[in-house]
Structure 1
Amino acid sequence: MPVTEASSLTSGVALRYASALFDLAKDENALDAVEADVEAFGKMLDESEDLRRLTESPLYSKGEQVAALDAVFQKAEMGPLASNFFKVVAENRRLFAVRGIVRAFQSLMSAHRGEMLAEVTSAEPLSEANETQLRQILAEQTGRAIKLATKVDPSLIGGLVVKVGSRMIDTSLRTRLNSLKTAMKEVG
């Protein structure tokens, strides 16, 4: 299966699951609590290679995945709605899409509040002042309130990669160095 087909399959699965969780949380009047749990789980995925491996590898049985997630969720004191939901995702062998589910749920919550979600990747953690300034600049550009979903990727070396809707702005030093390398190959 070509990469584009695989990623569109994953994003389709992620959106369906995220929509189901959103509707369930809305029916239970638990949107804020579920959002906090989903964001905490997303952060755990970003910070733990072992947890990422558990969710992405087809080598683990669904029983192993469910048991491991149950232990992680109990230790993190995650609410029953979100923890049961992600265990069902594991039971259905759809954990490969869990990072997409987290992003799609964040987007649904932002849309529900009338915000736009901006995914920001930086080489180092942003200060609160930098986050505030970035949020203001993006709000001016889009005309909507902005919610930032930040993550750190030291391989960027410096700069930012910002995704807002279908637009992506890449000012990372890594990209600039790669462009320079390509330009130098063309010259020489």
Structure 2
Amino acid sequence: MAKLSRRKIAELWAEELLKGRDITGNIAAYLVTERRVDETDLIVRDTESALAARGVVVADLTSANGLSSESRAAIEKFLIVSMNAKKVAFREATDPSVIAGVRVETAGQQLDATLRTRLNQLKASKI
């Protein structure tokens, strides 16, 4: 069997997800069988890029205490407009070290509006 490229795997995975079929287990089994587990992070990133090209943005949100539904809706609206997306899917995480604010990461882009980052920038400017 010919080795599938990372991008081909990502394109296939994105297409199946958009059809409502989750083939994550199949992808994982293929990577284990082909001894390509070390490529997992790259394939996930490529899949997120393939989804973004089809109008579906996957965004990682990190905040200190979780986000309100209003904040999530505002971030979704911002991403739809700024990335010309049709749909946004969120993965949320809490990290008390960010203190306040939010970090939004999508395929290839990051918006860091956390208090931790602002404090570090202020410290670095030595005002």
Q: TM-score range by the shorter chain?
A: 0.5 to 0.7
Distance apart, 1:132 and its partner CA: 1.3
Distance apart, 1:166 and its partner CA: 4.1
- Of residues 99, 108, 116, the one that matches 2:41 is 99
Separation in 2, partners of 1:160, 1:92: 38
With over 3 angstroms needed to count, the CA separation of the structure-2 counterparts of 1:19 and 1:132, relative to structure 1, is farther
SS at match of 1:32: coil
SS at match of 2:32: helix
Conserved in 2, the CA contact under 8 Å of 1:22 and 1:31?
A: no
Question: In proportion to residue count, which structure has more strand?
Answer: 2
Which letter does structure 1 place at the counterpart of 2:123?
Answer: K
Distance apart, 1:135 and its partner CA: 0.9
With over 3 angstroms needed to count, the CA separation of the structure-2 counterparts of 1:138 and 1:23, relative to structure 1, is closer
- Of residues 126, 134, 141, the one that matches 2:82 is 141
- Of residues 66, 73, 87, the one that matches 1:125 is 66
TM-score, normalization by structure 1: 0.50
Question: In proportion to residue count, which structure has more helix?
Answer: 1
- Percentage of pairs with the same residue: 25
Structure 1 unmatched ranges of 5 or more: 1-15, 35-80
SS at match of 2:35: coil
Which letter does structure 2 place at the counterpart of 1:170?
Answer: D
With over 3 angstroms needed to count, the CA separation of the structure-2 counterparts of 1:165 and 1:91, relative to structure 1, is closer
Aligned equivalent of 2:28 = 86
Separation in 1, partners of 2:35, 2:8: 18
Aligned equivalent of 1:178 = 120
Conserved in 2, the CA contact under 8 Å of 1:18 and 1:102?
A: no
TM-score, normalization by structure 2: 0.68
Distance apart, 1:171 and its partner CA: 0.9
Separation in 2, partners of 1:29, 1:139: 19
1:20 equivalent in alignment to 2:9? yes
Runs of 4+ in 1 over 6 A off after TM superposition: none
Distance apart, 1:86 and its partner CA: 0.6
Max Rg structure: 1
Aligned equivalent of 1:32 = 20
Output the aligned Cα RMSD.
3.1
Which letter does structure 2 place at the counterpart of 1:136?
Answer: K
Aligned equivalent of 2:111 = 169
Separation in 1, partners of 2:63, 2:8: 28
Aligned equivalent of 2:56 = 115
